[in-house]
Amino acid sequence: MKSFVQHLIEFDNPQIYCDMDGVVADFITYTTNILGHKFTDDDWDDLPVDMFLQLPPMTDAHILWKYIKQFQPFMLTAVPKESRGPIAKRAWKDKSRWMKKHFKLSSDRMKIVLRKHKKNFAMDGRDKRPNILIDDHLGNIREWESAGGIGVHHINANSTINDLKKIGFP
């Protein structure tokens, strides 16, 4: 049962949506180690089909998650386009399993979409209040903000937590 304080936090603060790759999962280090160079869109076929299950957590991922989990965040993560091959076919299930394994997040708290659809979550569907996106990709932040949301550019856990506190999270 939720406490009164939890209900107030949910009502008064915007909904937090947190990206996975580059925020809590270390996509860049993993793909660079596998490929021997920085990942490009031409590299999908050279990666293991279950790569999203194999990603290591970012070094400070648990610091960020410990802080934001009290606000009942959603994980909002993108999957590769279907044309990217077998990885794309498994991505939804593998990302969901990864979050459950590393952060005990249930699938009902996961929003797994194509990147172009992330911005559709920028505003609360009930009262049109802005929601928050924590994302390492500036393009996603710009699209989110253009759609009316509040973007938090993730560099590391401490800077993101400080930005959330500036917005009004305790």
The encoded tokens of residue 109 equal: 């708290």
User: Which H/E stretch holds residue 67?
Assistant: helix 61-68
Burial of 1 (0-12, 13-18, 19+ CB in 10 A): exposed
pLDDT tens sequence for the chain (170 residues)? 444 445 444 556 799 999 999 999 999 999 999 999 999 989 999 999 999 999 999 999 999 999 999 999 999 999 999 988 899 999 999 999 999 999 999 999 999 999 999 999 999 978 889 999 999 999 999 999 999 999 999 999 999 999 999 999 99
**What's the distance, Cα to Cα, between the start and end of the chain in Å?**
21
Whole-model pTM: value is 0.90
Q: How far apart are CA 134 and CA 152, in angstroms?
A: 5
* Domains of the chain by start residue, with CATH: 4-167 (3.40.50.1000)
